[in-house]
Structure 1
Amino acid sequence: MKPNLLLITVDQMRWDCLSAIGHPVVETPNLDQLVGSGVAFTSAYSATPSCIPARAAIITGMSQRSHGRVGYKDKVPWNYAHTLPGELANAGYHTQCVGKMHVYPARNLCGFHNIVLHDGYLHYNRSRHTAYGDHFDQADDYLHWLRQTAGSELDITDLGLDCNASTVARPWHLPEHLHPTNWCVSQSIDFLRRRDTGKPFFLWTSFVRPHSPLDPPQAYFDMYKDADMPDCPVGDWVDEEAALRAAPAPNAIVGKLPKRRLDRAKAAYYALITHIDDQIGRLLNALGEHGVLNDTVVLFTSDHGELMGDHHYFRKALPYEGSAKVPFLVYDPGNRLGLAKGGRVESVVELRDIMPTLLDAAGVPIPDTVEGASLLPLCRGERTPWRGYIHGEHSFGALSNHYATDGREKYIWFSQTGEEQFFDLVADPQELRNLANEKEARARVSLWRKRVAAELEGREEGYAQNGELIAGRPPRACLAHLEAQ
């Protein structure tokens, strides 16, 4: 039988939050097992680092130019001819998603046989002017389960924490088993019980956390609340006065916060990651109990990162490492695919590589629409031609941006102002020194600028003409061909 496939995604987890790669505070013993016995990609990025476009890359295997989502925009229908779960279902897999999909309409299967849904708090689902506004529990299976299990008056907003308030934290107020992280794994284990055992399965276990609200169970918060937190990196290019002016806002994108409040946010964020790690251990143990662990290929990643105070920024959508770079692990416990155990791969990879990798592992043809590439040759240590860099972007108002990186250097262009940044990620992994205007980097900046211009040539926004970047063109969250569907 073909291998089972388990895709585990988390929402808004930084690339560096793994103890196995040297994080000084966070503990992730189960993910460390995947690092030690699997393959870790050290230059993995989310090309468009926010929830919706990142998931489009995962589900379709396309670049953002082709799937059309170049920023964050809700309520744009998902009508793709080829999807990862759809191709696997057509090839005889039993397919199931548990947790976050963040597609539209909310219960669009996108090729899955079934979904058990918890997208977290989505404003348009809560509005009375939308299909689910008066009946949010119809869209959200976790909330429906929570009310059936623990009380009809309960809601996911009861803690009073905003869904994007990255600096406000407090412990979960209900018993731990009622937390959405535990629910996600409980539902995934239940799928193992009721799956069709005559077919291989594709299970996507998709956690909402460590995305805010920052609400870890008390035991996990206690692990970190008194920890000595390292200072956030702050580049010499940062406008400190602007950060100070923005500091009071609880859900600000930018702001210089008091250390006590920032440390509390970090404690809750790390606690959520360790909580997820323990639940991943629970899921892996269940795979063993069901006798399928050694027949299952596991891929773990995040849709994007969380700046958590880096350069006084928070959340995502910006091109800096804390936002755009993600953890990316491939684990083959039964050694069905001949992967290099404990391998580290420096080649630059992106979320669009997930679909062709899992299809390749399943022996399923990869559709022509897919623009990513299978990572299995890299996982085996094979010398293979590979892309030289990736192009990423995000429409984000005045901070709309494009970036390109090979994992060793990074060029950033802010499309509304024309500002450029250039970082040597080998010598300066925290992006502390902007070299864009340095004489010694002039040739490299010119090379990367031309690469970004080539990527944008012919785009409807008019960002590039005749090989030159054009600043000030209005950004779009979705390209016209997507919204015309």
Structure 2
Amino acid sequence: MRFDCLSIAGHPIVETPNLDELALRGVRFDRAYSATPSCVPARAALLTGQSQRLNGRVGYQDRVPWNYSATLPGELAKAGYHTQCVGKMHTYPARNLLGFHNIVLHDGYLHHNRNKHSIPVQEHYDEVDDYVQWLRERVPDADMLDLGLDCNASTVARPWHLPEKLHPTNWTVTQSIDFLRRRDPSKPFFLMMSFVRPHPPFDPPQAYLDLYEDLDIPDPVVGDWAQTEFPGQQGLLSTTSEGIVPTRRLKKAMAAYYALITHIDHQIGRFLQVLSEYGERENTIILFTSDHGELLGDHHLFRKTLPYEGSARVPFIVNDAGNHLGLSRGTVCNEVVEMRDIMPSLLEAAGVAIPDTVDGDSVWKLAQKSTLENPSAWRNYLHGEHSSGNNSNHWITNGKEKYIWFSQTGKEQYFDLINDPHELHNAADDEDQQERISYWRSVLIHELEGREEGYSDGQRLIVGCRPVSVLSHVYS
């Protein structure tokens, strides 16, 4: 989910009443990022509290074992919490508990666990996916491919073909509500309610698509640096990461994407009502975020992994209905926060010691009334990256500026996010910005010094080093 797809954040189309209410009665972090913006590395940061350099996931690679000594659910379980995940985990092995007492799994359509010729039987989605088993009990022979949509087909959309209650979004909330019924009432609980949508396939129930399909949807933003020629017209393909997509198809995809977000919002409202019925609403701290965004045609680009705002910047809302943490309700924080900050934040809120392995920080010091006048020290910048072939990139942002370096070509980009929030102008060659660019380049040189890929010798950035998706210490 993109950072800007909240009505409270000023989006002209998207309606998110329940998330808006969480923000109005909580704190919204407007400069939240996923430092390595794709499913696997983002979840590694969330579950370990570690930057990509420590957790070793610097790109997307499936079927690499997850062996971490301390995880968010594991630490909470050791402290006496009843822990459960419902929905997407995207770890390996697929049913790796990662410290949870139980997982009710739906990872969505992942190519690697559908390829029958290349995976062990016990990793095939028929074996590991709880939603698929549940759906087939109700719709014999149903499959995630029934709509003909690929899991990364960011330009194709059509409405969900079954009753809404059978949609994966509804299923995630239904199973989460069932956890409230079955949990151990003598223990506090930690629930990770993990939706696959609005990640493709773009398949909202018809009622939600109807909310948006006939609206005048604003065009995606396109910078003066964006590619405009696409040999072979990649945009005509059903699955693409770049290209000029036919207008009708693009607008339907955008409508469906927004529809999926409103669908999730309404289902979150459903869960909150039941949480109140169980008497736990005032006693529950809620954190809402996303593992990455979706470029959705911005700069003629789609999907994730790239360092631009639509891909790397995410929503991040904290809510404490009982005001146990003394939050400054209704405020917006502009400090840069990241996935690695979730684990230390929730452990601190639960009164659980934060392991030494964690290099994220607790966000409460930014959100509490007691620290608004004398804010605590916070990070000066965030280093993000993603290994992705010729598009492998590193970036630095403080929420006001962004410097990007493409490691395979040496291309640089610089954006003034205050005056150019949509990244419309690449100021890398602007004479009046050379001092700032030089400064941020030196920061990146320092960040990459000593990395095994050889990107920096401490004096300069080195172009063309072979990127890896997983650092070698993960395998040791």
TM-score by length of 2: 0.98
How far apart, in 2, do the equivalents of 1:134 and 1:61 lie? 27
Matches within 5 A, 1:306-317: 306-317=294-305
SS in 2 for 1:386: coil
- Give the structure 2 partner of residue 43 of structure 1: 31
Query: How far, CA to CA, are the matches of 1:427 and 1:244 in structure 2?
Result: 35
User: Does 2:468 match 1:476?
Assistant: yes
Q: Secondary structure at the match of 1:97?
A: strand
Aligned partners of 1:127 and 1:133 also within 8 Å: no
- Aligned ranges for residues 69-88 of structure 1 at < 5 Å? 69-88=57-76
Name the CA shift for 1:474/1:180 in 2 (closer, same or farther; >3 Å). Answer: same
Rate the CA distance shift 1:344–1:134 in 2: closer, same or farther, 3 A.
closer
Residue in 2 that maps onto 1:213? 201
Residues 338 and 281 of structure 1, relative CA distance in 2, 3 Å threshold: same
* 1:210–1:273 Cα contact (<8 Å) kept: yes
Question: Using the alignment, how far apart are the partners of 1:394 and 1:132 within structure 2?
Answer: 31
**2:409 aligned with 1:420, yes or no?**
no
Contact 1:243 1:256 in 2 (8 A): no
Match 1:28 to one of 13, 16, 21? 16
Deviations 1:46-68 (A, max 9, x none): 00000000000000000001100
Report what 1:138 is aligned to: 127
C-alpha distance in 2 between matches for 1:407 and 1:264: 31
Q: Say yes or no: does 1:400 pair with 2:392.
A: yes
Query: Are the equivalent residues in 1 in contact too, given 2:58–2:471 (CA < 8 A)?
Result: yes
Q: Please state whether the residue corresponding to 2:329 is helix, strand or coil.
A: coil
Task: Kindly state the Cα deviation for residue 126 of structure 1 after the two structures are TM-superposed.
Answer: 1.1
Map 1:226-375 → 2, pairs under 5 A: 226-242=214-230, 245-375=233-363
SS of 1:203's partner is: strand
Contact kept in structure 2, 1:126 and 1:132, CA below 8 Å: no
Letter in 2 for 1:266: M
2:164 to 172, 176, 198: 176
In the other structure, the counterpart of 1:457 is 449
Identity %: 63
Q: CA deviation at 1:35?
A: 1.2
Report the Cα distance in structure 2 between the residues aligned to 1:328 and 1:135, rounded to whole angstroms: 33
Contact 1:50/1:72, CA 8 A, preserved across alignment: yes
SS of match in other structure, 1:469: coil
SS of alignment partner, residue 116 of structure 1? strand
| Amino acid paired to 1:60 | T
Residues in 2 aligned to 1:388 and 1:412: alpha-carbon distance in whole angstroms: 17
Letter in 1 for 2:337: V
How many residues align structurally? 471
Kindly provide the amino acid, as one letter, of the partner of residue 395 in structure 2.
Answer: Y
Q: 1:55 aligned to 2:47?
A: no
1:379 corresponds in structure 2 to 367
Tell me the residue number matched to 1:389: 381
> What's 1:9 paired with?
none
Query: How far apart, CA to CA, are the structure 2 residues paired with 1:408 and 1:300?
Result: 23
Does the 8 Å contact 2:236/2:246 carry over to 1? no
Deviation at 1:336, TM superposition (A): 1.0
**Superposition deviation, residue 134 in structure 1:** 8.4
Deviation at 1:238, TM superposition (A): 1.2
Structure 1 residues 43 and 243, CA gap change in structure 2 (3 angstroms): farther
The alpha-carbon distance between structure 1 residues 243 and 264, as it changes in their structure 2 partners (threshold 3 A), is: farther
Distance 1:466 1:150 in 2: 59
Conserved 8 A contact 1:51-1:72: yes
Deviation at 1:343, TM superposition (A): 1.2
In structure 2, what is the Cα distance between the partners aligned to 1:179 and 1:466? 51
Residue 97 of structure 2 corresponds to residue 109 of structure 1? yes
TM-score by length of 1: 0.96
SS at structure 1 position matched to 2:230: helix
CA shift for structure 1 position 243? 7.7
Q: Distance in 1 between matches of 2:81 and 2:155?
A: 41
2: CA distance, partners of 1:422 / 1:96: 42
State the distance in 2 between where 1:257 and 1:124 align. 27
Corresponding letter in the other structure for 1:226: D
Is the CA contact (8 Å cut-off) linking 2:122 and 2:128 kept in structure 1? no
Aligned to 2:148: 160
Q: Which deviates further from its counterpart, 137-146 or 311-320? A: 137-146
The gaps in structure 1 that reach 5 residues or longer are: 1-12
The match for 1:3 is none
For 1:145 and 1:54, the matched residues in 2 are separated by: 28
Cα offset, 1:122, TM superposition: 1.3
Taking the aligned partners of 1:254 and 1:479, their CA distance within structure 2 comes to 28
Distance between the aligned counterparts of 1:119 and 1:389, measured in 2?
32
Is this contact kept in 2: 1:132–1:139, CA < 8 A? no
Alignment partners' CA distance in 1, 2:402 and 2:231 = 23
Structure 2: how far apart are the matches of 1:262 and 1:132? Answer: 37
**Residue in 1 aligned with 2:176?**
188
CA deviation digits over 1:254-281, x for unaligned, max 9? 0011221110000000000000000000
Deviation at 1:149, TM superposition (A): 2.1
Quick one: distance in 2 between partners of 1:466 and 1:363?
40
- Which residue identity does 2:15 align to in structure 1? E
Distance 1:270 1:256, change over 3 A: same
What does residue 150 of structure 1 align with? 139
In structure 2, what is the Cα distance between the partners aligned to 1:279 and 1:183? Answer: 10
Equivalent residue letter for 1:127: N
- How far apart are residue 251 of structure 1 and its match? 1.1
Asked if structure 2 preserves the Cα contact closer than 8 Å seen for 1:306 and 1:323, the reply is yes
Question: C-alpha separation between the residues in 2 aligned to 1:243 and 1:391?
Answer: 33
Name which of 14, 18, 24 aligns with 2:6: 18
Deviation, structure 1 residue 466: 2.5
For 2:88, the aligned partner's letter is K
After TM superposition, give the deviation of residue 239 of structure 1 in Å: 1.8
